[in-house]
Amino acid sequence: MDKSKEAESAPSFGSTLSAGFLGCCPSCHRGRLFSGYLAVAPRCRHCGLDYAFADAGDGPAVFVILVTGFVMTGLALVTEILHAPPYWLHAALWGPLAILLPLVLLRSFKGVLIALQFRNKAEEGKLAPN
């Protein structure tokens, strides 16, 4: 298939990101991607796309750890510099955030990685024959 035809048929990058972030089907952007909190549905109820290709692996967890660490470190430093609260207040603020922020972000990041996997037709690497 010609690359220009592939580019025309592929959904835009922005719509792919929004579909993944909202947990929608990467093909039709209407059906649900997840059947549970992190469990991927077997297929889209709207367009019938088989989600067997979807394997985000550890990618979402890695990105969530990086984003959470960046956000929490930045907020904790700004809070310390501006207000210098006692350590027990730091623990009361950042402890729950360290638990809640990854839980909020993980599903969205997994959806985005699966949607990008679909858009870019990513599949398992194979060695080329000699």
Residues 28-69: tens digit of each pLDDT: 999 999 999 999 999 999 999 999 999 889 999 999 999 999
To the nearest 10°, report the CA torsion of 96, 63, 36, 112.
Answer: 130
> Which position has the higher pLDDT, 8 or 106?
106
**Residue 108 pLDDT exceeds 90:** yes
If we measure between CA atoms, which residue out of 122, 119, 105 comes closest to residue 16? 119
Position 1 scores a pLDDT of: 44
Contact 70, 77 (CB under 8 A): no
Give the amino acid at 128: A
**Residue 117 pLDDT exceeds 70:** yes
Integer angstrom CA distances of residue 16 from 23, 44, 61, 118? 11, 15, 20, 9
Q: Note the Cα 38 to chain centre separation in Å.
A: 11
SS3 10: coil
Position 50 scores a pLDDT of: 94
SS3 48: coil
